[in-house]
């Protein structure tokens, strides 16, 4: 078997050495053909004589500068405001050209206000494209394009080169990037706005600056050949903006060009191309413009290059434009560092947007697994004995006294169940005695030096704390009741931080994270509980990306699903599905979208849950359906349905699972 495996590996290596050069040769040959075609088309257009009345009229121009979010460390923080002020104060008047600005999806309301006030102060015309949290929070992760299992959590991902891994993360942000960066979307908005304003539209980047000489060169070239619908304006990167104040300054414009459009030009920027991944290059290739991009390949998860435009070759190079300083001059000379830093900056910006969305619902002091509003509604119903018979029956059950309290550890599972039952029962009934008993269990588990559990969980070989999220909610409830001993809450925080670090760095934790089966699902359940307790919002959004990839691998496309089931039979088993119930409950409550609605992963998990429900006894199926409704996976059950459900714990569900999860009403 080892020899057969060796032969297979050797064959793959040989094939790779043969196929990759062939693919590269084919790409180069196709690029050369495109250059020839574009050159011939370009020559034909150069020989055309302007004949239409539109071309005979005096040319007018409208220049748009598209101002987006600051992207540190690619840019210095606040650089966009500083550059805009420099531009407004020092750029000369451009004969025959109106200046307009597009304020593009600024995340920080204070920065947006500063930009708009500055533009208003100088009497500038503005097209404002606002950032709306409600729209952004609907966007999930682009994980369905990855063909390899384990993306963002598996062994293969860990072994990827740094650049490839960065591109994979960048691709997962695709839909979020399209909305926030809105690079090509804003350019197209400028083109649409400018069609009725002038003969020529210049949808340029926000940091572009024209000197008098640069503008005269561009305008003269356009007026000389007005029949050519696209004008490529080479760009020069500037490290010190003050250089542009020298009338004799003439830089070397050797950067990717900006594109000007005649008003009747048919092409537009591809709004499916995100910022940082060839958003402008896609159009340059369609127009047949030769450049280093001719030899660029795609990652395995990316779509192929678009087909050439019917107007390929219909362009000319003219003039030049300066790009104001980014505030980090060391990045202007190294293209590879600039690319990696740009991807990091985009991730930081989108993480800021993710955290803004999350903070609307997330507070570390709030319950992690249960709804505060539902818990208070249930508490009100129980306290008034009004109209909900099933809960009243459980109320009597909860009044049963349990003698004694545990002072020595007897395994995390037993202590967890006691702490969760006592805290939820005590809170629901307003019984301080039960809450005090829960506090004792918590202090025994996390605080008492003689009995506390090790954060590395090596005692007895146990490490998977499936009810850790429930226990941390018990800690929150007892802390609210002021029943924990002095310093106990801080001790729990320290324990959770140590456990989170162990999960992320230990060999056992890494092995669980890489698992495609139930161990990986429950790893995410535990880690989510730790991040929420420690108020780590950015880490929660990163975890949601892994969870989205994990769901797609386990329940997505048929090929993935069949391979997953063959390698991990537990994927469709009750333990894994209940782990997903916990994860989906949390992501639904916090508003963390996993994938676009109706994705293959979502449909596959729904199918697996339905199959599981069909094979359960009716009473257990009712329990699970109610839990699915509270997790946002299924339609919430009605009050009439809940009255027919026996509310004690169901198999695989956490203690007192229905408290704070099943929405009820006192009357119909």
The CATH fold assigned to 2-133+181-335 is Spore Coat Polysaccharide Biosynthesis Protein SpsA; Chain A (3.90.550)
pLDDT band at 453 (very low <50, low <70, confident <90, very high): confident
Model pLDDT, residue 406: 45
In SS3 terms, 587-627 reads as HHHHCCCCCCCCCHHHHHHHHHHHHHHHCCCHHHHHHHHHH
Task: Using pLDDT thresholds of 50, 70 and 90, give the confidence band for residue 304.
Answer: confident
Which range among 71-80, 205-214, 238-247, 363-372 shows the weakest confidence by mean pLDDT? 71-80
| Residue 395 Cα distances to 232, 578, 656, angstroms | 75, 26, 12
pLDDT digits (tens, 9 = 90+) for 222-252: 999 999 999 999 999 888 899 999 888 888 8
Confidence of residue 590 (pLDDT cuts 50, 70, 90): confident
Give the pair of three-digit tokens for residue 168.
């994979």
- The confidence band for 13, taking pLDDT boundaries of 50, 70 and 90, is low
Q: Say how many CA atoms lie within 13 Å of 610 toward its Cβ.
A: 9
- SS3 string of 300-326? CCCCCCCCCCCCCCCEEECCCEEECCC
Residues 6+ apart with CB under 8 A from 485: 439, 443, 447
Q: How do residues 522-544 score in pLDDT, each as one tens digit?
A: 999 999 999 999 999 999 999 99
Residue 119 has pLDDT above 90, yes or no: yes
Q: How confident is the model at residue 382 (pLDDT cuts 50, 70, 90)?
A: low
Does 392 score more than 50 pLDDT? no
Higher pLDDT, 175 or 564: 175
Tokens of 620: 């257990």
User: How many angstroms separate the CA atoms of 549 and 169, rounded?
Assistant: 11
Give the position of tokens 């975890």: 543
**pLDDT over 90 (residue 552):** yes
Looking at the predicted structure, is the pLDDT value of residue 661 above 90? no
Does 572 have pLDDT greater than 80?
Answer: yes
Query: What is the signed CA dihedral for 393, 395, 396, 400, rounded to 10 degrees?
Result: 140
Least confident of 154-158, 477-481, 626-630: 626-630
Highest mean pLDDT among 150-159, 290-299, 560-569, 627-636: 150-159
CB 233 within 8 A of CB 315: no
Alpha-carbon distance of 76 to 315, in angstroms, equals 35
pLDDT over 50 (residue 207):
yes
The number of angstroms, rounded, from the C-alpha of 445 to the middle of its chain's C-alpha atoms is: 36
Q: Residue 477 and residue 367: Cα distance in Å, rounded?
A: 8
Q: What pTM does this model have?
A: 0.83
Range in 64-78, 95-109, 352-366, 581-595 the model is least confident about: 64-78
* Whether 613 contacts 625, CB under 8 Å: yes
For residue 78, name the pLDDT band (cuts at 50, 70, 90).
confident
Q: What is the mean pLDDT of residues 323-328?
A: 78
Whole-angstrom Cα distance, residue 344 to residue 73?
8
Summarised one tens digit per residue, pLDDT across range 483-494 is 999 999 999 999
pLDDT confidence band for 501 (50 / 70 / 90): very high
What is the bridge-based pairing of β-strands 61-67 and 97-104? Answer: parallel
């Amino acid at each position: 078997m080892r020899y057969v495996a060796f032969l297979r590996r050797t064959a793959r290596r040989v094939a790779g050495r043969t196929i990759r050069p062939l693919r590269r040769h084919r790409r180069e040959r196709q690029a050369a053909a495109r250059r020839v075609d574009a050159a011939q088309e370009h020559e034909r257009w150069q020989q055309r004589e302007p004949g239409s009345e539109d071309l005979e009229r005096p040319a007018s121009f409208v220049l748009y500068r598209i101002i987006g979010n600051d992207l540190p460390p690619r840019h210095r923080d606040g650089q966009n405001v500083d550059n805009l002020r420099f531009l407004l104060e020092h750029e000369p008047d451009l004969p025959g050209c109106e200046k307009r600005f597009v304020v593009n999806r600024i995340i920080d309301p204070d920065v947006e206000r500063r930009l708009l006030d500055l533009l208003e102060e100088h009497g500038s015309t503005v097209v404002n494209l606002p950032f709306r949290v409600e729209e952004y929070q609907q966007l999930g992760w682009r994980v369905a394009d990855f063909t390899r299992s384990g993306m963002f959590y598996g062994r293969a991902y860990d072994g990827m080169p740094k650049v490839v891994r960065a591109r994979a993360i960048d691709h997962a942000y695709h839909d979020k990037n399209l909305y926030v960066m809105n690079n090509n979307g804003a350019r197209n908005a400028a083109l649409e706005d400018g069609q009725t304003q002038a003969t020529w539209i210049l949808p340029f980047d926000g940091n572009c600056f024209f000197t008098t000489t640069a503008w005269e060169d561009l305008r003269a070239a356009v007026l000389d050949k007005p029949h050519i619908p696209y004008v490529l304006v080479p760009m020069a990167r500037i490290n010190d903006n003050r250089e542009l104040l020298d009338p004799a300054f003439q830089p070397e414009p050797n950067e990717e060009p900006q594109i000007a459009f005649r008003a009747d030009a048919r092409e537009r920027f591809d709004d499916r191309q995100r910022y940082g991944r060839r958003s402008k290059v896609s159009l340059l290739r369609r127009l047949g413009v030769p450049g280093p991009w001719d030899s660029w390949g795609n990652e395995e998860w990316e779509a192929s290059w678009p087909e050439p435009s019917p107007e390929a070759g219909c362009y000319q190079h003219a003039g030049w434009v300066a790009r104001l300083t980014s505030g980090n001059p060391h990045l202007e000379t190294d293209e590879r560092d600039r690319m990696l830093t740009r991807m990091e900056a985009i991730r930081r910006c989108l993480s800021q947007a993710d955290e803004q969305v999350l903070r609307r619902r997330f507070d570390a002091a709030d319950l992690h697994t249960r709804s505060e509003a539902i818990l208070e509604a249930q508490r009100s119903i129980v306290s008034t004995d009004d109209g909900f018979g099933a809960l009243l029956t459980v109320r009597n059950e909860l009044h049963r006294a349990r003698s004694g309290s545990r002072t020595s550890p007897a395994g995390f599972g037993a202590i967890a169940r006691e702490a969760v039952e006592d805290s939820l029962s005590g809170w629901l009934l307003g019984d301080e005695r039960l809450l005090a008993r829960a506090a004792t269990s918590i202090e025994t588990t996390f605080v008492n030096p003689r009995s506390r559990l090790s954060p590395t969980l090596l005692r007895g070989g146990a490490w998977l704390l499936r009810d850790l999220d429930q226990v941390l909610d018990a800690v929150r409830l007892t802390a609210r009741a002021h029943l924990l001993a002095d310093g106990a809450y801080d001790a729990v925080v320290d324990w959770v931080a140590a456990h989170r670090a162990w999960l992320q760095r230990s060999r056992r934790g890494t092995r669980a994270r890489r698992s495609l089966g139930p161990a990986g699902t429950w790893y995410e359940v535990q880690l989510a509980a730790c991040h929420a307790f420690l108020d780590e919002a950015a880490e929660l959004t990163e975890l949601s990306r892994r969870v989205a990839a994990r769901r797609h691998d386990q329940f997505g496309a048929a090929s993935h699903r069949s391979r997953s089931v063959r390698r991990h039979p537990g994927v469709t088993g009750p333990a894994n599905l209940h782990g997903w119930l916990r994860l989906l409950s949390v992501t639904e409550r916090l508003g963390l979208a996993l994938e676009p609605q109706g994705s293959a992963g979502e449909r596959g998990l729904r199918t697996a849950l339905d199959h599981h429900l069909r094979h359960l006894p009716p009473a257990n199926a009712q329990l699970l359906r109610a839990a699915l409704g509270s997790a946002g996976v299924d339609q919430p059950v009605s009050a009439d349905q809940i009255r027919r459900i026996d509310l004690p714990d169901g198999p695989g569900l956490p203690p007192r699972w229905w408290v704070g999860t099943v929405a009820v009403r006192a009357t119909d």
